[in-house]
Chains A and B, each alone.
Chain A
Amino acid sequence: MNKISNQRFNETLYEQMLSSGLRVVVIHKPGYIGSSALLATPFGGMHTKLKDNEGNIFDILPGSAHFLEHKLFESEEGDIMSAFTEVGASVNAFTSYEETVYYFSTSNDIDEPLNMLLNFVGDLRISEESVEKEKGIIIQELRMYAQMPDSRLVNETYRSLFVEHPFSNDIGGSEESVSSITKAHLELCYHLNYHPQRMLLVVATGEQPQRIFDLVEKNHASKTFDNVPLVQSLPINEPNHVYRKNHDFTLDVQSLKSTITFKLNHSIQSERERKKAEWSLRLLMEATFSPLNPAYQDWMDEGVISDFFGFEVDLGEGYGLLMFYNETDDSTKFEEFLEKEISNSTISDATLEQLKRRYLGQAFRSLNDLEDMAISFIRATFAKADFFESLTWVEDISLKDIENVRNLIDLDNKCIVSIKKSKSS
């Protein structure tokens, strides 16, 4: 058992690699009543092409990771969710673009639900019939998100921005891709991605860490795991240009919204450097497009931006984006405004220090919640970053770093996506 203490954040973690290959991390939170356990695999909505170490390439249908998440809750012994509620534990799962995570929380004894989590995620048993039945539920889920203006706007933006990158697909896939997923395809996805060597278990608890390690080791000792060649996602060759420069879609709504998204082309390999660049750009945008800028009040008063206005920065492996969103019926005016203000954007030393102070406070606060902390840990680990270090990356940013990332923005390389009113609205 390896102990990792961080004095500054007053947090202690324990980690151990089990004989099965599963990495287990216990975030020790003395004084907390509840426990949360999260079992994660780095298989999400963006993993549509995998390659094993023998060179075999596997094409994964969009929405497969999410479909598999639904089906793992099925068991021949009975309903898994009911089994958790019977021991007073609340179980759930989520699929993002990067990972799938199964988790429970309880204020009762952790032994039984932890064994149940390891057992149900460690055993896929599905029938053709149940796979067919699940399609109806997933299609209802896709339709629900498709008629929610904000989630639809983000999906249409990603579809417009990316040419090859799987971000152009919804995490849940499309009605067509979901309809064509089969039992055999789900079994293949499971086989490739759910081996303990590929997974990570994080338990945030006030319980003694050694007890958790012993329990998981004992559970895995009773199982056999096939030798599965480890897979990795194939690098994505995303072109520099956007898929479509303009896109409008109609919804039965009153409030019109647009996104203007700049595609950021970069070749930064290390996660640390990428996140440093991401923070640099975020700080510059924060100094320009937030109440820190005295002009922000004028923009609000003049109706150039609404209270809905905001932005997102994301720099990942092989992709990058800077997205602005606003409530507006004039995307051209919004575009002109953004181009002018991005060109004039600037940040002073005092503002940089002010923002660092804000985000340091945010980093401390993020450690209050068991599940949030465990999810952040999982994401840092899958991105091959050190969790505690990642909390303070913002502190290292200098004005020079910020000046360097400004070059990532090409004002001509963007897409504009707008919601238009349905004729019947």
Chain B
Amino acid sequence: MKRIRIHENLNLRIIKTGKFKDISFSFRFLSNTSEKDATIRSLIATMASDRNEKAPTKVDMTRLSDQLYGSYVDVRNTGYGAAICTEFKTKVLNGQYVHQSSILEGFFEWMLDMIRYSLINDETLKEAKKIIRSILVRSMDNPMQFAMKKAFETAGKGFPLAVNIQGSLDILDTISTEDCKSYLQDMIENMRLDVFVVGDVDENEVTEMIKNSFLFRRRDNVETMYRMDLNAFQSVELSRKMDQSNLILIYNPQVLPTDQDYWPLRVAMTAFGQLPSSLCFSEIREKRSLCYTIGAQMITFDGVCFVYTGIDAKQADNVEKLVDIQLETVKNGQLSDSLIEASKKMMINSIRQIDDDSSAIINYYYQISLIGRYSDKEEIIADIDKVTAKEMSEVFAKMTKITKLLLKGEGAHEQDIESEI
């Protein structure tokens, strides 16, 4: 990998490889997060991937994309703790497969146009608002997604954790065309930018393309990681007419990737609820058949962990107690050596497999650069290898439960009448 800091807070990383059929480009703009930032960015993402000033209709955009063998630009937002990132991502077919060696030239210009000349006006904003509203309402119809959203809102009130990266229905209508235009301008001109290129490219050529573009300027960085300094427990129960219930439990160990006990926590979480042989999966699903879905995840940049499961409403208290027991097992240092070793192996396995997927490569190097702790995969693997059972037990002692959210299934909906055949 070639890593070049071409200007202040403007970084370019080129991962040269010939094993993929295409070349991936990713432009990532970072700033602080808030409900308003997330909502404006969602609108910009919708408008930018739809049309631009040089291709002002959907028909024009589709034609341009198909000339490049279906290279559409995917614009999406991701939260990294206290920060939010808008990514413009695209792939172009390696010209050797279609006997078109110059494909990259036109492509690069097209890609930059997508960022610089996004078509933002009253008409496109109106359409984008309609789409974002639909997405937000639709996401609430998925019980597990809704339960998680409500749990994060409860646990993270007043902190970035509570911000829905897809935007907020409450403020959607207050955003103006001017808000979006000036935000995009600020993004292009001032916000930290990381550019990634994965594929068979000429490194010097790509570097020159960036240096000669409007993106080449000094930029501002922001903090991503933060700790939620709270331990008070809150319990919320909501209900819906459905058969299954969703239980979300949120813990706040306040451990960040820069901390010494980060990798002990990651290994412990893997053993606790991320493998088919993990404690939660084997004790709650396999041994007792109490659920189909159960798992545990970390929200890395917020220092928070959570457990999610789909269960029968009558079993909610029982399942919560069983999760507590598994947590105590890790805390008390009762994890088996074989499960600890398996957890480490699986983590190392997935780190090594990153090299086989261009999106995974980009995500990995971006996170590493935000964390600022590692320069090489082997350093991470060494840190995982040296995690001890004692360290895992100690870090799990920090797992304070701060939120329980139960989305209770109140039985099936009204009886559907079989329509006439």
Contact with A85, one of B137, B143, B277, B312 (Cβ below 8 angstroms)? B277
Q: Chain B contacts of A81 at CB under 8 A?
A: 275-277
Segment touching A, from B64-72, B111-119, B203-211 = B64-72
CB <8 Å contact, B17 and A137: no
Nearest A residue (CB) for B293: A144
Known: A86-B341, A147-B242. 19 other contacts (CB 8 A): A30-B19, A79-B282, A88-B342, A107-B349, A108-B345, A144-B293, A149-B142, A249-B416, A250-B413, A251-B242, A251-B413, A306-B134, A308-B134, A357-B66, A358-B66, A361-B68, A361-B70, A365-B21, A425-B241
Does B292 interact with chain A (Cβ within 8 Å)? Answer: yes
CB <8 Å contact, A31 and B93: no
In Å, the complex CA distance between A358 and B291 comes to: 42
Nearest B residue (CB) for A301: B127
CB <8 Å contact, B69 and A33: no
CB <8 Å contact, B59 and A105: no
Does B338 interact with chain A (Cβ within 8 Å)? Answer: yes
Q: What 1/0 flags go to B211-239 for Cβ under 8 Å of A?
A: 00000000000000000000000000000
In Å, the complex CA distance between A306 and B137 comes to: 13
In Å, the complex CA distance between A307 and B416 comes to: 28
Number of interface residues of A (CB under 8 A): 81
CB <8 Å contact, B244 and A31: no
In Å, the complex CA distance between A307 and B127 comes to: 10
Residues of B within 8 A of A (CB): 17-22, 57-59, 61-63, 65-71, 91, 93, 97-98, 127, 130-131, 134-135, 137-138, 140-143, 240-244, 275-277, 282, 285-286, 289-293, 310-312, 338-339, 341-343, 345-346, 348-350, 352-353, 355-358, 409, 413-414, 416, 418-421
Q: Closest CB of chain A to B194's CB: distance in Å? A: 22
In Å, the complex CA distance between A134 and B137 comes to: 35
Q: Closest CB of chain A to B1's CB: distance in Å? A: 15
Does A360 interact with chain B (Cβ within 8 Å)? Answer: yes
Contact with A364, one of B19, B66, B97, B127 (Cβ below 8 angstroms)? B97
In Å, the complex CA distance between A290 and B62 comes to: 9
Q: What 1/0 flags go to A83-109 for Cβ under 8 Å of B?
A: 001111111000000000000011110
In Å, the complex CA distance between A141 and B310 comes to: 9
Q: Chain B contacts of A29 at CB under 8 A?
A: 19
Q: Chain A contacts of B341 at CB under 8 A?
A: 86
Q: Quick one: given A107-B353, A149-B141, are A365 and B17 in contact (CB under 8 Å)? A: no
15 contacts between A and B (CB under 8 A): A32-B19, A33-B352, A33-B353, A82-B339, A85-B346, A137-B285, A141-B293, A143-B244, A144-B244, A251-B141, A292-B62, A296-B58, A297-B58, A361-B68, A368-B21
In Å, the complex CA distance between A294 and B341 comes to: 58
CB <8 Å contact, A244 and B311: no
CB-CB contacts below 8 Å: A108-151 with B: 108, 133-138, 140-141, 143-144, 146-149
Query: Which of A141, A147, A249, A368 is packed against the most chain B CB atoms within 10 Å?
Result: A147
Residues of A within 8 A of B (CB): 8-10, 29-34, 79, 81-82, 85-91, 105-108, 133-138, 140-141, 143-144, 146-149, 243-255, 290-294, 296-297, 300-301, 306-308, 327, 354-355, 357-362, 364-365, 367-370, 422-425
Nearest A residue (CB) for B240: A252
Q: Chain B contacts of A247 at CB under 8 A?
A: 418-419
Q: Quick one: given A296-B58, A307-B134, A327-B134, are A34 and B356 in contact (CB under 8 Å)? A: yes
Q: Chain A contacts of B416 at CB under 8 A?
A: 248-250
Q: Chain A contacts of B346 at CB under 8 A?
A: 85, 88, 90
In Å, the complex CA distance between A244 and B419 comes to: 7
Q: Closest CB of chain A to B293's CB: distance in Å? A: 6
CB <8 Å contact, A86 and B338: yes
CB <8 Å contact, B413 and A85: no
CB <8 Å contact, A369 and B357: yes
CB <8 Å contact, A359 and B70: yes
Q: Chain A contacts of B131 at CB under 8 A?
A: 307
CB <8 Å contact, B58 and A423: no
Contact with A362, one of B61, B70, B142 (Cβ below 8 angstroms)? B70
Nearest B residue (CB) for A82: B277
Q: Chain B contacts of A293 at CB under 8 A?
A: 59
CB <8 Å contact, A364 and B21: yes
CB <8 Å contact, B21 and A137: no
Q: Closest CB of chain A to B263's CB: distance in Å? A: 17
CB <8 Å contact, B282 and A134: no
Nearest A residue (CB) for B61: A291
In Å, the complex CA distance between A327 and B134 comes to: 9
Query: Which of B22, B243, B342, B413 is packed against the most chain A CB atoms within 10 Å?
Result: B413
Q: Chain A contacts of B358 at CB under 8 A?
A: 368
Q: Chain B contacts of A252 at CB under 8 A?
A: 240-242, 413
Contact with A31, one of B19, B57, B420 (Cβ below 8 angstroms)? B19
In Å, the complex CA distance between A361 and B289 comes to: 45
Q: Closest CB of chain B to A256's CB: distance in Å? A: 10
Q: Chain A contacts of B71 at CB under 8 A?
A: 361
Q: Chain B contacts of A108 at CB under 8 A?
A: 345, 349
Nearest A residue (CB) for B138: A255
Q: Quick one: given A147-B143, A248-B416, A291-B61, are A140 and B312 in contact (CB under 8 Å)? A: yes
Q: Quick one: given A290-B62, A292-B62, A297-B57, are A255 and B353 in contact (CB under 8 Å)? A: no
CB <8 Å contact, B348 and A422: no
Nearest B residue (CB) for A367: B21
CB <8 Å contact, B292 and A308: no
Q: Quick one: given A87-B345, A255-B138, are A10 and B97 in contact (CB under 8 Å)? A: yes
Q: Chain A contacts of B141 at CB under 8 A?
A: 149, 251, 253-255
Q: Closest CB of chain B to A408's CB: distance in Å? A: 23
CB <8 Å contact, A354 and B63: yes
Q: Closest CB of chain A to B240's CB: distance in Å? A: 5
Nearest A residue (CB) for B244: A143
Q: Quick one: given A133-B289, A243-B421, are A291 and B127 in contact (CB under 8 Å)? A: no
Query: Which of B18, B143, B356 is packed against the most chain A CB atoms within 10 Å?
Result: B356
Q: Chain B contacts of A85 at CB under 8 A?
A: 275-277, 342-343, 345-346
CB <8 Å contact, B244 and A140: yes
Nearest B residue (CB) for A134: B289
Q: Closest CB of chain B to A106's CB: distance in Å? A: 6
CB <8 Å contact, A365 and B91: yes
CB <8 Å contact, A300 and B413: no
CB <8 Å contact, A423 and B66: no
CB <8 Å contact, B243 and A143: yes
CB <8 Å contact, A354 and B66: yes
Q: Chain B contacts of A245 at CB under 8 A?
A: 419-420
In Å, the complex CA distance between A221 and B411 comes to: 53
Q: Chain A contacts of B18 at CB under 8 A?
A: 31
CB <8 Å contact, B419 and A248: yes
Q: Chain A contacts of B137 at CB under 8 A?
A: 254-255
Q: Closest CB of chain B to A414's CB: distance in Å? A: 14
In Å, the complex CA distance between A293 and B244 comes to: 42
CB <8 Å contact, B138 and A140: no
In Å, the complex CA distance between A291 and B60 comes to: 9
Q: Chain B contacts of A146 at CB under 8 A?
A: 243
Q: Chain B contacts of A30 at CB under 8 A?
A: 19
